[in-house]
Structure 1
Amino acid sequence: MNRTRVVVIDDSTVIRGGFATVHPELEVVATYASVEDFEADPAPCDVVVLDLLLRGPQGTMVRTKQGRAAIRAIRAMDLPVCLYTDERRAIVLALCLRAGAQGVVHKSDSPHVTVRAVEDVRAGTVVVTQSLIGLTELLDRRGAPLDLSPRQRQVISARARGRHWSDVASTLFITEDTAREHYRAACAKLRDYLRHTSPGDIEHAVGLAPGDVLDEA
């Protein structure tokens, strides 16, 4: 497979300037400071790498699309979105998946983790962070209709506790590739659940009062 072509949307000049250097396995075709700039002159790409929090031009009152509004705008262009963010609140990231993001990685992740995530998003795989793995387990324990198989439940439980793939595979007497397949299937079920569940119901499922952290952005 050819190198994945990515567009980076981030209001940090450091991120925009250094992303290609730090991730040479990816082909950065263009960078933008805002979703509006990308909408006005979109570069062809395989995946959009999007910062979750985008601010308007410094010193102005101009508002820019960010968060779920930014995700929905890019998805409307029929492009997959991989979030590249410092945000770690599982409920916030879950609502981003609900809005259409295909994957989430953190800016503190090692470059090879980010590259793998972007390539997986290009291939149509759902990519989640450690916090979302924990959310998957929590929702399952509270009776959310995720429809996880017993093996998927075992893999998610192990990964939620930070166990390495080799350890998971040996404990369950399966190969690492098989463990990853169960994991990917469980992540896909999480996304399907989120996309068909109201924000209020998701809040309730994780034990939050209505409106605690969610908004219409």
Structure 2
Amino acid sequence: MTAVPPVVPRVVVVDDNTVVRRAFGVVHEGLDVVASHATVEEYLAAPAPCDVVLLDLRLRGAGGAVGPMQGRPAIRALTDLGRRVCLYTDESRPLVLALCLRSGAHGVAHKSDPPELVTEAVRRVAQGDVVVTPSLVELTEVLDRRAALDLTDRQRDTVAGRARGRSWRDIARSLHITESVAREHYSAACTKLRDFLQGASAADIERALGIGPDDVLGAG
């Protein structure tokens, strides 16, 4: 039987911005921030148990220098430890975020999102869902049109609705289903996206997206 996640997810914040680290738990009252660190290395040195690691995609060292572990290597290090990772970032380029899902991230939340949306994203990641941004929803549509994801009709309809900014209520009404069922279809589509990105080779992904060999993904 699958364990029921806690009502208030335990979160570790990894962000090089001191203000973000200090204020995140205050602004997002529905989350329990159990620790915060400026680098992934700090957390790995003393990894507090948690349900989600909220990870800034780009971490800077002292004086603005690029830190030794960030991006995909940081995601892999945290998931190897058994942690669920939700990115907390300003990055919006679909292929960059797709690579993060490919590396094991469970979700993406933007720093510009309202606190309630970030809180919801973290809760869903804690529950094992895959959470994607609107830019990745559009990528899901592209891959589905190229027959890479094998979405059902309902999954396709909910993805199309979210890609166009429609509310859950509007989508559910048009499909004659409940909002919770609409969310389930959407979550299943997001999971298929992540599974495809993690299971396919770089060449398969490039082919599905219609780009040239090694244009974006390289050999990673």
Cα deviation, 1:174-195, whole Å, max 9, x if unaligned, reads 1111111110111111111111
**Residue 133 of structure 2: aligned partner:** 129
Q: Percent identity?
A: 58
Is 1:47 aligned with 2:52?
yes
Question: 1:57-206 alignment to 2 at 5 Å?
Answer: 57-58=62-63, 63-144=67-148, 146-206=149-209
Q: Distance in 1 between matches of 2:124 and 2:57?
A: 19
Aligned residues: CA RMSD = 1.6
Q: Distance in 2 between matches of 1:183 and 1:142?
A: 19
Is 1:22 aligned with 2:27?
yes
Which amino acid in 2 is paired with 1:39? L
Gaps of 5+ in 1: none
**Residue 213 of structure 2: aligned partner:** 210
Mark the CA change 1:84 to 1:59 in structure 2 (over 3 Å): closer, same or farther.
closer
| Shift in Å, 1:199 | 2.4
CA contact (8 A) 1:81 1:102 kept: yes
CA contact (8 A) 1:95 1:199 kept: no
Which amino acid in 2 is paired with 1:46? D
Q: TM-score normalised to the size of structure 2?
A: 0.92
| Shift in Å, 1:100 | 0.5
Q: TM-score normalised to the size of structure 1?
A: 0.93
Q: Distance in 2 between matches of 1:212 and 1:106?
A: 26
Which amino acid in 1 is paired with 2:98? A
Q: Distance in 2 between matches of 1:117 and 1:174?
A: 22
Which amino acid in 1 is paired with 2:44? E
**SS of 1:138 mapped into structure 2:** helix
| Shift in Å, 1:200 | 3.1
Q: Distance in 2 between matches of 1:18 and 1:56?
A: 20
Which amino acid in 2 is paired with 1:109? D
CA contact (8 A) 1:25 1:115 kept: yes
| Shift in Å, 1:52 | 0.5
Aligned residue pairs: how many? 215
Q: Distance in 2 between matches of 1:207 and 1:169?
A: 32
| Shift in Å, 1:207 | 2.8
**Residue 32 of structure 1: aligned partner:** 37
